[in-house]
Structure formats: structure tokens, C-alpha cells
């Protein structure tokens, strides 16, 4: 595990995190294909300036196309509005065969700021995540939510840490 902190937000902090992750490659398992790993990830601050406003972001791994509706319903039940879905740009060639075989579709859902206290909004987003997870389980919808927050966003996958930045084109 590594940690990067800087008072200045922006790409430099993310780049430092990616470099730190690559330097921890010896800590993870690697498949025989040389690309699939036992998992690597990066938690970053939600880039509000890049998004053009105040949004919460739901990171969704979707194996079942019903998953987005499950998440939208859970967000709405919390008194919030999911305004758009964005398919996360990725490079499949950076993955190993095993990781490609099991890979979900990866989406970011943008949740509009409900104009409430920041801590209350964060709490509602957490409850929406839990509500979505329970609903998906009861409906047999295969999905995973790595993060659902107005503050942090998780990028992760079954790859070596050296491959994370190659895979996510963001």
C-alpha cells in the first residue's frame, strides 16, 4: 500500500500515485500470461473541476445490463438524481487473457449535488450504494460498486499495478 498527499489537486498527484503503484508491483501476484494480476487500484479525489460542477460519482462494474437501472433506482430512493452515465475509456490490449475473459463493463454515473450539507450528501451516497448492492443481490444482478462518493473515486482491476495506467485511458 502506498499513499500520496499534496495540497495541490490535479494530475501530478495522480501521476505520483500511479508511479508508486508501479513500484509496488513486486507485492502482487501475476498470472502466467504476464498481464493478469491479483488486483491493483488507485483511490483519487473526485475531479470536480474536470466534471464542470459538483457531482458524486458512482463507479460501477457491470456484468448484467440491468445494473445501471438498479443503481439509478437506489440513488433516486435516496432523494438524489443520477444525471448521466459515462462508459469509462479503457485499453483491452493492456489486459491479460484471464482478466479479459472475466472483465465487466465499467461505468461512471454522475449524481447531481442535492444542495445539502456535504457530510449528509456523502452519507446518502453511501446508503445508495448499500441499497443498490442489496437490490442487485435480491434480483440476481451481477455488479460491483468500487466507489460511490462526492469525494473519492476508485480505479481498480485484475491487473498488475504497472498496468493500471495503461488500462484506464482517463
pTM: 0.86
pLDDT of residue 106: 98
Tell me the domain boundaries of the chain.
41-152
- Between CA 98 and CA 35 the distance in angstroms is 9
Which three cell numbers mark 134? 442489496
Radius of gyration of the chain (CA): 16
Give the separation between CA 88 and CA 106, rounded to whole angstroms: 6
**pLDDT tens digit sequence for 25-69:** 545 555 556 555 667 788 888 887 777 778 999 999 999 999 999
Residues, the chain, total?
Answer: 170
Residue 30 is classified by DSSP as B
Structure confidence at residue 21 as a pLDDT band (50, 70, 90): low
Which CATH architecture group holds 41-152? Answer: 2-Layer Sandwich (3.30)
Amino acid at each position: 500500500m502506498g499513499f500520496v498527499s499534496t495540497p495541490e489537486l490535479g494530475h501530478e498527484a495522480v501521476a505520483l500515485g500511479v508511479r508508486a503503484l508501479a513500484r509496488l508491483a513486486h507485492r502482487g501476484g501475476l498470472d502466467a500470461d504476464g498481464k493478469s494480476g491479483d488486483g491493483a487500484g488507485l483511490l483519487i479525489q473526485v475531479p470536480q473541476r474536470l466534471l464542470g460542477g459538483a457531482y458524486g460519482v458512482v463507479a460501477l462494474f457491470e456484468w448484467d445490463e440491468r445494473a445501471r437501472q438498479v443503481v439509478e433506482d437506489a440513488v433516486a430512493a435516496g432523494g438524489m438524481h443520477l444525471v448521466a452515465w459515462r462508459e469509462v475509456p479503457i485499453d483491452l490490449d493492456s489486459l491479460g487473457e484471464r482478466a479479459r475473459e472475466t472483465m465487466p463493463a465499467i461505468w461512471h454515473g454522475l449524481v447531481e449535488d442535492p444542495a445539502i450539507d456535504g457530510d449528509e450528501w456523502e452519507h446518502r451516497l453511501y446508503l445508495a450504494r448499500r441499497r443498490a448492492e442489496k437490490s442487485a443481490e435480491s434480483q440476481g444482478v451481477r455488479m460491483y460498486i468500487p466507489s460511490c462518493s462526492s469525494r473519492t473515486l476508485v480505479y481498480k482491476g485484475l491487473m498488475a499495478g504497472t498496468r493500471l495506467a495503461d488500462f484506464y485511458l482517463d
